[in-house]
Amino acid sequence: MSRPARFALRHPIIEGVAIIDGAELHHLRDVMRLRAGATVSLLTAANVEHLARIERYEDDRAIVRIEKIAAVAKAAPLVLATAIIKGPRMDFLVEKAAELGVTDLWPMLCERSVVRAPGAERIGRWGRLATAAAKQSLAPSVLAVHDPVEFASIIERTRSDSQSVLKLMCTVGAEPIASVVRRARPNSIVIACGPEGDFTDSEIAAAKDAGFTMAALGRSRLRSETAAIAAVSIAAAMLDELRTGD
């Protein structure tokens, strides 16, 4: 049985009724061509998924009646702190991270970062890509794209994390990520991936001091976006394996 089409809900549900407008209305009415009476899935900002039925269309919106809660997001926190990279490669990274189940993305400014100020328009685009990817992939939650921060802020922010949080920094020549995760058996994971020129020695030292474990992605020299996507792919699969094993 096929899943109903999924749409992001940006307005609150009032007395069991939701409103779909803007770009989501265009997708619902003009792209999917769904008629009144069709069943849809609505994902709220709180990552609660509702099954609903289209009640009627008005000029600039669709009125949709909630029928039941389909699911509440239970994804294990998987945080990606990644150096901002140039052009569409960062867009690609954001989209794939969202599809793979990353819960939070922290765009990071490192010592060797080429991009320093991506701007509000670009950050907004990343948020829209994350929402679209969650709809398409049926990920349990929408990736939260945060404002860019300095590398040092990420380190300080994670310094007091509990022992159930595994903090990884992608580096060459370390133990493979899968082995580290399998041994640690964490409840959540934070992954730090560096810029095109990699992390500096001082950044690596600061991360180690804050409790990060160095982890490798194999022998090949990977581009920044490839490394980030490979890291979260492995981490997400390992979290699923651990959760299934429990």
Q: Where are the alpha helices (DSSP H) in 54-176?
A: 88-99, 120-137, 151-158
Nearest to 89, CA basis, from 195, 191, 189, 232: 195
Domains identified in the chain and CATH numbers:
6-72 (2.40.240.20), 78-245 (3.40.1280.10)
Digit-coded pLDDT (tens) for 168-216: 999 888 899 999 999 999 989 999 999 888 899 999 999 999 999 999 9
The pLDDT value recorded for residue 77 is 86
Give Cα 106 distance to the centre of its chain.
10
The pLDDT value recorded for residue 76 is 62
- Say yes or no to pLDDT of 46 above 80: no
The pLDDT value recorded for residue 181 is 93
- Say yes or no to pLDDT of 8 above 70: yes
Nearest to 216, CA basis, from 202, 242, 198: 198
Integer Cα distance of 142 and 93 in angstroms: 15
What mean pLDDT do residues 3-31 have? 87
User: Across-strand partners of 193?
Assistant: 82
Integer Cα distance of 196 and 85 in angstroms: 7
CB 206 within 8 A of CB 166: no
Provide the token pair at 214: 């160095």
The pLDDT value recorded for residue 246 is 53
